[in-house]
């Protein structure tokens, strides 16, 4: 076995020569004075040499540690040379790919609506990118993530929770594409308390009536109110309402056909329109009939309005902490079931997919006529609640 003194005193000669340490490790002394550690091994009957590094940058003890690691790899049938090449590729990919680059790739791969993608990107741009956007994806640590979550949770716990989910999704992609080995979000996932927001709960009948009256008082912004009323009258998703296009409506047949590409489940959805909604849309068409979208953007009429308009209206009306547009569907489902309507009708109106595969195969009914009667009764109930009435849920099931 070699000693450190022998390594230090090794002098160059006219030709390269070796100082053997044993078990495949040797120090190659070159004519130019370079002393390089080498490890010779045999795998699958083929001899190869692994370059460990130059002495004295790599000491004798370090070279022996590297030899042991390489020997262990050979025992497992792994070539140390190939393993080192793979490690180098991973490092290069990690440093070449920043968190922001992988995050944008993650968003592009998601089968989400444009509104959902825009909301996730907005969260990342405001909360996450300023801190770790420019860092290599593999160099982000749990400490980075924890700092982001704790800072955000102080003022916006729900936003912190959304940022946490987004970051974890980005790292899931990075791991699956060999650009990261671990998800640094996981160890600190419980560092912020669970969100206790209640604004997605189902509204009571008195609250529904008050919200309808408050929306009427906000009629100066008829587009925002119109989007809310369309959402309440049909129980569609917020994005489906604000991005609605005139080409999707047939007011004569009181039908709204939302194309598959705008639906969460990527299936076309046919929606019956109550008479009140048909009248409202006819009035809006007199103003916005020459635009593509029913509710165009205030500044760019070629684009639809944004969710910021709805959030602004709710804040102005004092409903921001009590109600979210997403709660409309929860409220509608709860109240319609209480009124005795068949679950299949309600679920079809909400465009929910039957979870049971066998039942889904045999139950393809649209229940359009049934849903038309149901939603007209729902719209009439909304009017009655707005007028201050007290609605007692009744049994409206179809009779034979």
* Predicted confidence (pLDDT) per residue in 232-267, tens digit: 999 999 989 999 999 999 999 999 999 988 887 778
- Asked if 134 is an active-site residue, the reply is no
The pLDDT value recorded for residue 363 is 44
Catalytic residue among 303, 311, 352, 372: 352
Catalytic residue among 151, 326, 359, 398: 326
- Asked if 237 is an active-site residue, the reply is yes
- Asked if 264 is an active-site residue, the reply is yes
Residue 230 has pLDDT above 80, yes or no: yes
* Structural domains of the chain ordered from first start: 4-80 (3.30.160.390), 97-188 (1.10.150.130), 205-386 (1.10.443.10)
311 pLDDT tier (thresholds 50, 70, 90): confident
Catalytic residue among 67, 229, 269, 329: 329
The pLDDT value recorded for residue 225 is 92
Mean pLDDT of 144-159: 90
CA angle 159, 161, 162 (to 5 degrees): 65
The pLDDT value recorded for residue 359 is 43
Q: pTM above the 0.75 mark?
A: no
96 pLDDT tier (thresholds 50, 70, 90): low
Mean pLDDT of 272-289: 93
Catalytic residue among 164, 237, 335, 367: 237
Query: Helix, strand, or coil here: 398?
Result: coil
Catalytic residue among 69, 119, 199, 264: 264
CA distance 153 to 249: 42
Distances in Å between the alpha carbon of 51 and those of 84, 169, 180, 291? 10, 38, 26, 68
- Asked if 329 is an active-site residue, the reply is yes
Catalytic residue among 15, 190, 302, 362: 362
DSSP state of 15: S
DSSP string, 107-152: HHH----HHHHHHHHHHIIIIIHHHHTTSBGGG--HHHHHHHHHHH
Strand partners, 105: none
The pLDDT value recorded for residue 156 is 81
Contacts of 280 (CB under 8 A, 6+ apart): 226, 229, 230
């Amino acid at each position: 076995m070699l000693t450190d003194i022998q390594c230090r005193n090794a002098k160059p000669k006219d030709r390269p020569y070796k100082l053997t340490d044993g078990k495949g490790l040797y120090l190659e002394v070159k004519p130019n004075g370079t002393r390089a550690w080498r490890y010779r091994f045999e795998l699958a009957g083929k001899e190869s040499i692994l370059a460990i590094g130059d002495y004295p940058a790599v000491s004798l003890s370090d070279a022996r540690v590297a030899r042991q690691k390489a020997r262990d790899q050979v025992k497992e049938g792994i070539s140390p040379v190939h393993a080192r090449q793979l490690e180098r590729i991973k490092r290069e990919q990690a440093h070449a790919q920043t968190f922001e680059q992988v995050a944008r790739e993650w968003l592009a791969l998601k089968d989400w609506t444009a509104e959902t993608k825009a909301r996730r990107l907005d969260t990342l741009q405001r909360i996450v990118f300023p801190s770790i956007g420019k860092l290599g994806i593999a160099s982000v640590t749990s400490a980075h993530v924890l700092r982001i979550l704790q800072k955000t949770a102080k003022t916006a716990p729900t936003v912190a929770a959304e940022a946490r989910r987004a970051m974890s999704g980005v790292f899931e992609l990075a791991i699956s594409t060999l650009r990261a080995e671990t998800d640094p979000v996981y160890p600190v996932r419980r560092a912020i308390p669970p969100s206790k927001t209640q604004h997605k709960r189902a509204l009571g009948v008195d609250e529904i009536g008050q919200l309808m009256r408050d929306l009427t008082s906000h009629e100066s912004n008829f587009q925002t109110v119109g989007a809310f009323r369309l959402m309440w009258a049909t129980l569609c998703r917020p994005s489906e309402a604000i991005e609605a296009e005139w080409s999707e409506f047939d007011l004569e047949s009181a039908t709204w056909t939302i194309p598959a590409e705008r639906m969460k489940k990527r299936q076309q959805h046919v929606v019956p329109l109550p008479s009140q909604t048909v009248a409202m849309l006819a009035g809006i068409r007199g103003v916005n009939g020459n635009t593509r979208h029913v509710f165009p953007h205030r500044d760019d009429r070629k684009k639809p309005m944004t969710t910021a308009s709805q959030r602004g209206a709710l804040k102005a009306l004092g409903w921001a902490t009590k109600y979210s547009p997403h709660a409309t569907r929860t409220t509608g489902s709860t109240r319609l079931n209480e009124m005795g309507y068949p679950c299949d009708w309600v679920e079809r109106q909400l465009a929910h997919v039957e979870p049971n595969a066998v039942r889904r195969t045999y139950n393809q009914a649209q229940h359009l006529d049934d849903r038309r009667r149901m939603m007209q009764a729902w719209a009439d109930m909304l009017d009655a609640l707005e007028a201050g009435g007290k609605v007692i849920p009744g049994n409206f099931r179809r009779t034979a």
